[in-house]
């Protein structure tokens, strides 16, 4: 079974802090994704990566950056957290770059910014 893990289930940070959310997948997938989930809005793509050190902006990249130094690990960075970044963050992976396929999701990190 594909396993996608996220470093924290719950996180509380203060405004202005730098926040790192980590995601690891164990199935050698090429693609990795970060979404945020807000009630009524579904999931919105923040960034995705199709290879090590490669990244593409999604629909809502403002205020976020990402890092992918190893194939299995994809980090989401909030350089200076703000209250409007309070949300559920979901990481996902899928097998092959450039091909539509199932995305496998981690359990999510619920981030609260005070």
Partner 1 sequence: AQSVTQPDIHITVSEGASLELRCNYSYGATPYLFWYVQSPGQGLQLLLKYFSGDTLVQGIKGFEAEFKRSQSSFNLRKPSVHWSDAAEYFCAVNNAGNMLTFGGGTRLMVKP
Quick check: 58 binds partner 1 (CB under 8 A)? Answer: yes
CB 34 within 8 A of CB 89: yes
CB 16 within 8 A of CB 81: yes
Q: How far apart are CA 24 and CA 67, in angstroms?
A: 12
Residues 35-54 that bind partner 1 (CB under 8 A): 40-45, 48, 50
Quick check: 112 binds partner 1 (CB under 8 A)? Answer: no
Quick check: 1 binds partner 1 (CB under 8 A)? Answer: no
Which of 25, 75, 85, 94 binds partner 1 (CB under 8 A)? It is 94
């Amino acid at each position: 079974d594909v396993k996608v893990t996220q470093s924290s289930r719950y996180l509380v940070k203060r405004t202005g802090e730098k926040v790192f959310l980590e995601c690891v997948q164990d199935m050698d997938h090429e693609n990795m994704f970060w979404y945020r989930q807000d009630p009524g809005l579904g999931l919105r793509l923040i960034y995705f990566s199709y290879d090590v050190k490669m990244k593409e902006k999604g629909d809502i990249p403002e205020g976020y950056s990402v890092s992918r130094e190893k194939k299995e690990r994809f980090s989401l960075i909030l350089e200076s957290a703000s209250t409007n970044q309070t949300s559920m963050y979901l990481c996902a992976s899928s097998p092959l770059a450039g091909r539509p396929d199932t995305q496998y999701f981690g359990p999510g990190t619920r981030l609260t910014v005070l």
